[in-house]
Structure 1
Amino acid sequence: MEYQDFINAVATRAKVSTDQAAALTATTLETLADRISAGQAEDLAYQLPDKLADHLRGPRGREQATSFGFEEFVRRVADRPNIDRALAGPGVIAVLTTLREAVTRDEFQNAAAQLSKDFWQVIEPVGAGGGRRPGS
């Protein structure tokens, strides 16, 4: 999936502008990189365009994930200065759902296995929202 296609999908799902979708995507991917192991973040990054992958990579200097649930994840996204707090929840869901469509099923499941079950309850099923998964 190309960068602009990813951003457009997030914008459509979250019902926000593409500028807001880009900010939500960057912040959500950076927060995800804090939540999963560095190796898993790199594996996801490898399947994304550089403009998206760069948010999963970075000077985090750790291999272990920081454990926190979905509500804390959304709070961390909402606390960022360039994010509208009211859009954080729907934005995170839109980004994670779009990420699910943008990478292979196995890679997404490997990353999601590091997340608590409350994440699975909010991510749209594959196919919801109109995207098509690679290899399906």
Structure 2
Amino acid sequence: MRLAEFLAQVHDRGEYRSQEEAEHVSTAALKVLGTRITAEEAEDLAAQLPAPLSDVLREGGGPAESFGCEEFLRRVAQHTGARPRTAEWDAGAVLSTVADAVSGGQVDHLLSQLPTEYAELFGRPGRS
């Protein structure tokens, strides 16, 4: 998926006012995700995403931090300046687009390494 297509999908899902806003929330969500997953997982996921978003994921580097979905949303909110409920909307718009942009196997592998509550953000509710 090309960058313009990715951002257009996030823009539509998040009902943002501009492509710039869609890019801002995409960068925030992917930056936080990059700190939550291993460097190897970030590299595998980034390989299927358009630059510069792929680079944002790789920036996390290092060992994965272990935190739940609530902390993930708090960190996204901190990056965007939004409230946690808005951050949930933002993260869902971005991560469900990620799930559409990369292979299903990659998403399944990623979700197998995260607590089950993350599945809904990726548009995969009810995943066990």
**TM-score interval for Structure 1 and Structure 2 normalised by the shorter chain:** 0.7 to 0.9
- For these two proteins, the number of residue pairs brought into alignment is 123
Moved over 4 A (4+): none
Distance of 1:26 and 1:83 partners within structure 2? 13
Instruction: Give the Cα separation in 2 of the matches to 1:74 and 1:4.
Output: 25
% identity of equivalent residues: 36
Equivalent positions of 1:89-128 (< 5 A) are 89-125=88-124
Contact preservation (8 Å) 1:23, 1:83: no
1:7 aligns with 2:7: yes
Secondary structure at 2:52 match in 1: helix
* Matching residue's letter, 2:78: D
- CA-to-partner distance for each residue in 1:104-128, whole Å, 9 max, x for gaps? 1111111111211111134324xxx
TM-superposed CA distance for 1:79, in Å, is 0.8
Structure 2 stretches lacking a partner, 5+ long? none
Contact 2:73 2:88 in 1 (8 A): yes
Cα contact 1:32–1:56 (8 A) shared by 2: yes
CA RMSD of aligned residues (A): 1.7
Q: C-alpha separation between the residues in 2 aligned to 1:79 and 1:31? A: 10
- Normalising by the residue count of structure 2, what TM-score does the alignment of the two structures yield? 0.87
TM-score (norm. length: structure 1): 0.82
Structure 1 equivalent of residue 47 of structure 2: 46
Which structure dedicates a bigger proportion of its chain to helix? 2
Instruction: Answer whether contact 2:31 2:56 (CA < 8 A) is retained.
Output: yes
CA deviation map 1:57-90 (0-9, x unaligned):
12x451x31111111101001012x443353110
2:7 partner amino acid: I
Counterpart of 1:84 in structure 2: which amino acid?
A: A
Contiguous gaps of at least 5 residues in structure 1: 126-136
